[in-house]
Amino acid sequence: MRALVIDDSRAMRRIVSGTLENLGFEVNQAGDGREGLDVLADGWVPDLVTVDWNMPVMDGLQFVSAVRANPAYRAMTIMMVTSESEHTQIVRALAAGAHEYVIKPFTADALRDKLALLGLLPQEAAL
């Protein structure tokens, strides 16, 4: 399975990518929403996108809206991974079309639990 990790912090990109690679994902990275859209436009369409909220150029919410407006990306699962943790913010992200929401700070186990909920892990790996 493929995953695109979008975060303006490269430390955070490395952490999220490392966890996903350990779970068997082939991972690509982008530093903001616009770069993320460019990766998709190049034809590299992943099963999962993890996306930060606050980023320069194009933020995560704008990215989610742009992806949801394109029927070609309908099969993609989107998970926000952000320190934005107010109730209203989570509601906004889900309303825009994100499937899941992970609040920073998170552990590798938390990421794995969410992927299991989304059916993006084989059952054995979920436990």
Partner 1 sequence: MSTVDTGERRRAADGRPVITELIDEATVQSIAEDAWTALVGEDEFLVPVPGELPADALSSWVDVVGPWTGSVVLTTARETAADLTRALLGDHAPDELEDEDVADAFGEIANVVGGNVKAALPGPSGLSLPDVGDAPAVRNPADVCRLDVLWRGQPLTISVQGALPPLPGAQPHNEGAIPALPENGASL
Partner 2 sequence: MTLTATSFDWVRALVHKESAIVLQPGKEYLVEARLLPIARQLGMPDVSQFVESVRTRPDPDKTRQIVEALTTNETSWFRDGDPFTALTSTVMPALLAARGPNERLQIWSAACSSGQEPYTIAMLLEDSLPNAATRVAITATDLSREMVERTKAGRFSQLEVNRGLPAPMLVRHFTRAGTEWEVSPTLRRMVSASECNLAAPLPRLGPFDVVYLRNVLIYFDLPTKQAILRRVRDLMRPDGWLFLGAAETTLGVDDSWERVVIGRSSAYRPLKGA
Positions touching partner 1 (CB under 8 A) are 8-12, 14-15, 18, 54-56, 82-86, 88, 103-107, 110
Here the tokens at position 30 are 């982008």
Residue in 2, 58, 62, 113 binding partner 2, rule: CB under 8 A: 113
We find the least distance from the C-beta atom of residue 17 to partner 2, in angstroms, to be: 19
Nearer to partner 2, 28 or 79 (CB): 79
Name, in order, each residue with C-beta under 8 angstroms of 54's C-beta and a sequence gap of 6 or more.
8, 60, 82, 83, 84
CA–CA separation, 20 and 112 (whole Å): 8
Here the tokens at position 105 are 């700070």
With CB under 5 to 8 Å by kind, the binding choice for 18 among partner 1, partner 2, none is partner 1
H or E segment and range at residue 65: helix 60-68
The reply to whether 42 sits near partner 2 by the rule CB under 8 A is no
The reply to whether 110 sits near partner 2 by the rule CB under 8 A is yes
52: exposed, middle or buried (Cβ count in 10 Å: 0-12, 13-18, 19+): buried
We find the least distance from the C-beta atom of residue 107 to partner 2, in angstroms, to be: 7
CA–CA separation, 77 and 40 (whole Å): 13
**Residues interacting with partner 2, by CB under 8 A?**
85-87, 90-91, 93-94, 98, 100-103, 105-107, 109-110, 113-114, 116-117, 123, 127
